[in-house]
Structure 1
């Protein structure tokens, strides 16, 4: 016989709650990066931009370098690097458009919600997107470096001058990588500040020619705010000698990028 009020279930030890390994498991960072790459090429328009973008870069380089056939346009090392500097400013805009669609479109279409529901850490989410941006920058910089080192000797030969960049390979690489980074910085800042893909693209495609126009009309004034000033200074093409304009320009754009990052970190998902 059992004592009054005794129930076996009441005396049994508590059972551990059911565990859900997949829900408890942390999403691998490599998977987060892969998800961001899939978003980068998620739609037909994204894939078109990613295919057309490099073709535009190649076509613009071929067209500009092979059109240089006068000795005066290729006489010095700075003359021979000048086409690269301007190609970095305008030739990569289609690739940047794909980046803008990825970042601005995340918040317009609430595509960030599934990622942050799977892993709530915004830090890891931003780091995954930063990895995609870094790899895209490396691709653009390497592509421009290869095209410059391939086409500039042909342009020098067509102009009948001595090719000087072969003695400054490191300098050419530095200009390509720094210039590519700075122009991508503009696209990244616009995309983070404007949570609408169409609006961000419109602003970016208006900003690039506007900056080129202002830098041509008032080079010594705009050099203090031009994001490409550090690359121009490295290429010995800056309108103002000395490092101060480059430092001011970097501080301005790093400040804008930091402000944009703060806005994104505080942005509501709902």
Structure 2
């Protein structure tokens, strides 16, 4: 007769009851799932869905249209590397944060969290992997935009018979990449707080496009807001990165507002995501 111990009903019920709460600390995480593997999984989940596929298709199509428009309509003087890189990068900067939003909210909106958080009960690791994947996509996509912009510049100069004009320094390219990564992080942060695809998308577009309009009106009409705008307006400090000229105080304003617009909300969002119930 076998004398191997068996789990008591109370222990089994305890393991099951912890499956949908918090960090699911009562569950045992499957071995062999390293953080690098989690990042690769999250990258694949961003793009192998129908929404992710069509988002990438939209970015590619819009970038192609913008490049062709530069080739056709730009004057010889404006046919530069910066023009092509901007034409390709603008659609990316608008749509890539949507990828970041859906990468987070899919666990709650599409019920994939039941599987994800069962395989890896420590939700903090999953969110950290999503964050790393978001940054990686942001950097890679902007490097791709720079590469395609360089190719478009070479092609445009050859077709139009004009001299090559580059214009953007490596430092300027780095600031543009940082600005776009910050935009993706804003979408990521909003998604961790709301955790609903429709609501998070509305929230992101409100912050990215409606809020700057409001702050712009306040800046133009209210003297008190002009005095404090650099301390509270994160989007304005982020746009400063595109201008290329960043003094020490500009970096300070960006860091200060980024802390309050990104770091603190991210902490709150992660706490809510870790403790929320997945149905």
TM over 0.5: yes
Structure 1 residues 237-256: aligned runs within 5 Å: 242-253=250-261, 254-256=263-265
Shift of 1:268: 2.2
- Say if 1:269 and 1:60 are closer, same or farther in 2 by CA, change over 3 A: same
Distance (whole Å) between structure 2 residues aligned to residue 145 and residue 197 of structure 1: 30
Structure 2 counterpart of 1:39, from 45, 60, 63: 45
The range that moved more, 185-194 or 254-263, is: 254-263
- Say if 1:35 and 1:44 are closer, same or farther in 2 by CA, change over 3 A: same
**Corresponding residue of 1:117:** 118
Shift of 1:49: 1.3
**Corresponding residue of 2:268:** 259
Shift of 1:164: 5.8
**Corresponding residue of 1:6:** none
Residue 129 (structure 1) aligned with residue 130 (structure 2): yes
TM superposition score normalised by structure 1: 0.69
Residue 50 (structure 1) aligned with residue 52 (structure 2): no
5+ long unaligned stretches in structure 1 = 1-8
Distance (whole Å) between structure 2 residues aligned to residue 66 and residue 216 of structure 1: 33
Q: What value does the CA root-mean-square deviation take over the aligned residues?
A: 4.1
Shift of 1:53: 2.1
**Corresponding residue of 1:4:** none
Structure 2 counterpart of 1:165, from 167, 192, 198: 167
- Say if 1:260 and 1:81 are closer, same or farther in 2 by CA, change over 3 A: farther
1:48-107, CA deviations, whole angstroms, 9 ceiling, x for partnerless residues? Answer: 112222332443455468655386x79xxxx98699679756643223223212211211
Query: More helix by proportion, 1 or 2?
Result: 2
Structure 1 residues 64-103: aligned runs within 5 Å: 67-69=73-75, 91-103=92-104
Structure 1 residues 183-198: aligned runs within 5 Å: 183-198=183-198
2:111 aligns to what SS in structure 1?
coil
Q: Is residue 62–residue 91 contact of structure 2 (8 Å, CA) maintained in 1?
A: no
Distance (whole Å) between structure 1 residues aligned to residue 245 and residue 87 of structure 2: 11
Distance (whole Å) between structure 1 residues aligned to residue 211 and residue 66 of structure 2: 19
1:219-265, CA deviations, whole angstroms, 9 ceiling, x for partnerless residues? Answer: 85654423462462473367x97444223222222222232222222
Q: Is residue 81–residue 149 contact of structure 2 (8 Å, CA) maintained in 1?
A: no
Residue 141 (structure 1) aligned with residue 153 (structure 2): no
Instruction: Choose 1 or 2 for highest CA Rg.
Output: 1
User: What is the number of residues matched between the two proteins?
Assistant: 246
5+ long unaligned stretches in structure 2 = 8-27, 221-225
**Corresponding residue of 2:176:** 176
1:110 aligns to what SS in structure 2?
coil
